[in-house]
Structure 1
Amino acid sequence: MGAMLLVMVVLVFANAAGRYLFGTGVAASEEIARLAFVWLIFLGAILAVRERTHVGVDMLVQRLPRAAQKACLVICNLLILYALWLFAQGSWQQVIVGLNSRMPVTDISLAAFAAAGLVTSVAMAALFLADLVRLFSGRMADAELVQVRETADAEEIREFEREFAAGGSTAHSGKAP
């Protein structure tokens, strides 16, 4: 992902600088940067699923008993797997269609764009399937039953709320603001 970001920045900067300074740019830079951007976004989505940083609402699931949390996890993952199956099917169809179409400057097949969706759906499906296998084999910790990981900021806010509810903080100097 970092390499793709670097390629995008270098190509777009070189193209803009070339047009400004020399009156001409690198024609292929826009197509390659667009392709790199698409792949960057889709690979980032895979990483977000793996790191559990995708958007999710967990306030109900956190309050459920363990058995209900497990049931929610199974139902949710099965629905996600179905959606990923549909996404993979559509991406595959677009790969097939794109094989016969090419970008005008670089002559890269348009299937390269749709392949990002196919790779993403397969990778995400593998991650969600692995979660189900871990759940059914008893190797999933209770803390993992809620699939959304809190950010550091949210944890700091909760700590502040606990300190405030307890009547103050020992971490502050005690001076009035």
Structure 2
Amino acid sequence: MAACLAAMVVLVFSNVVMRYLFGTGIAEGEELARLCFVWLIFIGATLAVREHGHIGVDMVVRRMSPAVRRVCLLVNHALVLWALWMLGEGSWTMTMIGLDSVLPVTGISTAVFGAAGVFLAVTMSLILIADVWAVLSGRAGTLVDVSASAGHGE
């Protein structure tokens, strides 16, 4: 993620400076920055899932017993795994289609964009399957905890 972010900053900043000072820019910079942006977002989303860092609304969950929380978590993960299956299938199709086409300036295969979706679907699925296993085996004490949030006076 850091490499993608650094590359984006250098590419975009260089292009802005060159266009302002010299009236021209690095044509490849725009395509490479877009590619870095896509991969940065997909890697970041995967990392957030691994760290359980996505935003959650716990208004209802706070009132549930631990057993009901576990059931809801399992249903939630099953639905997310289904969505990831569909995302992965669509991304795989995009990757295969992209093998036959290239970006106009850099010549990089457009399959790299679809591959980001495949990466996301596979890695998030593995993380969620590990979470489900932890819940089913009883090792997921903190996985379903509800933390105090702003606005509750705690």
The answer to whether TM tops 0.5 is yes
Q: Which has the larger radius of gyration?
A: 1
Change (3 A) 1:101 1:73: same
Unmatched 5+ residue regions in structure 1?
A: 163-177
CA contact (8 A) 1:28 1:106 kept: yes
Q: Normalising by structure 1, what TM-score?
A: 0.81
Give the share of equivalent positions with the same residue, in percent.
49
Deviations 1:140-173 (A, max 9, x none): 11x3224x766xxx35x54xx25xxxxxxxxxxx
| Whole-angstrom CA distance in 2 between matches of 1:144 and 1:89 | 28
Deviations 1:31-72 (A, max 9, x none): 000000011111111111112121322221221112211111
1:85-124 to structure 2, matched below 5 A, reads: 85-124=85-124
The match for 2:52 is 52
Task: Return the letter of the residue paired with 1:61.
Answer: V
Moved over 3 A (4+): none
Unmatched 5+ residue regions in structure 2?
A: none
| Whole-angstrom CA distance in 2 between matches of 1:123 and 1:17 | 38
The match for 1:175 is none
Change (3 A) 1:106 1:149: farther
Task: Return the letter of the residue paired with 2:6.
Answer: L
The match for 1:145 is 144
Deviations 1:95-144 (A, max 9, x none): 00111110011000001011111101111111110001111111111x32
CA RMSD of aligned residues (A): 1.6
